[in-house]
Amino acid sequence: MTALPRPEPATWPAPAGGRSAPRVVGAFAVATAVLLVVAAVHLTQGTSSVGALDLLRLLVGADDEAARVLVASRVPRLLAGLAIGVALGFAGAALQSIARNPLASPDTLAVNAGAHLAIVAAAAFGVTLPVLPAGGLALCGGLAAAGLVMALSAGGQSGTTRLILAGSATALALNSLTTLLLLLFEQATIGLFAWGNGSLVQSDLRALTQLAPVICLAVAALLALGHRLDILALGDDTATVLGLDVRRTRLLVTVLAVLLSAAAVTLTGPVGFVGLCAPVIVRLLAPVVPGVHRHRVLLPLSGIAGVIIVLGSDVLLRAVLGGQAGVDIPTGVVTTLFGAAILIWLARRHRDAGPTRRPPGGHAVVRSAAFHRVVVACCVAVGVAAVVVGMLAGDTWVLVGDIANWIQGRTGPAYTFVLDQRWPRVAAAVLAGAALAVAGTTVQAVCRNPLAEPGILGITAGAGLGAVALLTFVPLAGVWAVSGVAG
């Protein structure tokens, strides 16, 4: 995996005297204007017949139908997008600053995944919580996930690349647990599927009015810490010499960022990659706006950029697929696609040194042929045991003798039916596992990277997309056709 270089403050352009303040003001003015335009377009979209002209009539006279549509549906959705855009933009900028890595965000550091898992776990076990207690639970989940990431990466002291790797691995594990709970407790979590992908649908303003003070306080606290973040950007040693308590500052900023992420997850579910994209886009203005690296400029601009990303994605979704799509399809799907494009751009921007051309130094351990045979024998034994347990376990447990009788065709109808249904599943698992193992070994050998595997490189997701697309448009496609398109 490419190790991203740490941004050095010395490379930031210095404020150019009197030109810095006007350009910063201009950047805020342009961003605010874009935000107002996107918000205005957002208000004109929806499932009802109320359009832009009907909304304009509200400015000159009463229109009860348009007013009801605005209050009941469109304004809550707009304000929800505004709130989570600000929260995730501030949280992403803060996390990227303390990690000194443009890939750091509530998504890649598993904060959103931890908050999401906490709320889904409560719902799965039948616990119904009001908005603020649910936000507190999400905060606990996000803090636990962030603490686990810090522990795995030695508190971030071992390098930012290891921090991102630990966060990504933790996010994958937590998302898998969340999916497991959604599948096992389908009835209890039936309303959480769309919410779990980041949905802006709001029935009223109650949740927003309860979470808005939390978001405002956290935003104000981060702005108050802006000067400390500027000093921290100079490096830990320099910041310590200047009298800054680096550990306490990092802890406080992390807690505030997690609080903002938890509030966003509580309100709309995890909206993907807004916290990653917004600060990256704002930092691209550095050559044009010299003062954008100062955190009291970077943080609010990232908040505005976050709102534009969220509302713009929602506008794009409903403009392309229609107003009903805004209800059926979570906005987080579009923001995740946008985040993927940003990640691809970052990967192309930061170049690697290339594959390793010689093995790393160290003391190589030479194993004997006998040791190799023992390892192979143990692997075969474990594999055979897994196959046997796979045949025995299930809704109906069978005995080894039943399997022997089944092989000989001497079992009764009940056990014959059970084992006839079970063996294709076990055989598919064995073949799929072997195929993925061979593919992973081959990819790692070619890339010379132990982190390379079909899932990381997008091969598995691409194959799945091809197969699903074929079955969607050609429902009667055969196995070989599906395999060919997937390949």
Summarised one tens digit per residue, pLDDT across range 178-224 is 989 988 888 877 778 778 888 888 878 888 999 999 999 999 999 99
CA distance 255 to 384: 48
pLDDT in tens, 49-77: 666 666 666 655 555 665 666 666 778 88
Question: What is the pLDDT at residue 257?
Answer: 94
Residue 419 in tokens = 């084992």
Q: What distance lies between CA 440 and its chain's CA centroid?
A: 24
- Whether the pLDDT of residue 297 is over 80: the answer is yes
CA distance 318 to 151: 42
User: Please, which pLDDT band fits residue 366 given cuts at 50, 70 and 90?
Assistant: low
pTM of the model: 0.80
CATH class name, domain 31-45+63-349: mainly alpha
User: What is the mean pLDDT of the segment spanning 278-283?
Assistant: 92
Contacts of 334 (CB under 8 A, 6+ apart): 313, 314, 316, 317
Highest mean pLDDT among 159-163, 323-327, 356-360: 323-327
Inter-residue contact 273 to 344 (CB < 8 Å): no
User: Please, which pLDDT band fits residue 367 given cuts at 50, 70 and 90?
Assistant: low
- Whether the pLDDT of residue 17 is over 50: the answer is no
Residue 157 in tokens = 């002291």
In the three-class reduction of DSSP (H, G, I as helix; E, B as strand; rest coil), residue 124 is classed as helix
Question: What is the pLDDT at residue 365?
Answer: 54
Residue (of 90, 310, 73, 79) closest to 210 by Cα position: 79
**Burial of 411: CB neighbours in 10 Å, binned 0-12, 13-18, 19+:** buried
User: In this structure, what is the dihedral angle of CA atoms 43, 48, 51, 57, given to the nearest 10 degrees?
Assistant: -90
Stated as kind and residue range, the H or E segment containing 322 is none
Contacts of 138 (CB under 8 A, 6+ apart): 115, 116, 118, 119, 262, 263, 265, 266
- Whether the pLDDT of residue 304 is over 60: the answer is yes
- Fill in the amino acid letter for 315: V
- Helix spans in 153-245 (H): 160-184, 206-224, 226-232, 236-241
More confident residue, 306 or 420: 306
CA distances 118 to 127, 136, 196, Å, are 11, 10, 12
- Name the average pLDDT for the chain: 82
CA distance 35 to 51: 20
Residue (of 443, 460, 461) closest to 452 by Cα position: 443
- Fill in the amino acid letter for 124: A
Question: What is the pLDDT at residue 80?
Answer: 92
User: What is the mean pLDDT of the segment spanning 431-443?
Assistant: 86
Contacts of 405 (CB under 8 A, 6+ apart): 411, 415
Question: What is the pLDDT at residue 359?
Answer: 45
In this structure, the number of other CB atoms found within 10 A of the CB of residue 351 comes to 9
Residue 261 in tokens = 């992420």
Residue (of 162, 163, 156, 116) closest to 138 by Cα position: 116
In the three-class reduction of DSSP (H, G, I as helix; E, B as strand; rest coil), residue 213 is classed as helix
Could you say which DSSP state residue 94 is in? H
pLDDT in tens, 392-402: 888 788 888 88
In the three-class reduction of DSSP (H, G, I as helix; E, B as strand; rest coil), residue 6 is classed as coil
Inter-residue contact 430 to 387 (CB < 8 Å): yes
**Burial of 287: CB neighbours in 10 Å, binned 0-12, 13-18, 19+:** exposed
C-alpha count within 13 angstroms, C-beta hemisphere, residue 333? 14
Residue 478 in tokens = 């055969």
Residue (of 93, 104, 147) closest to 281 by Cα position: 93
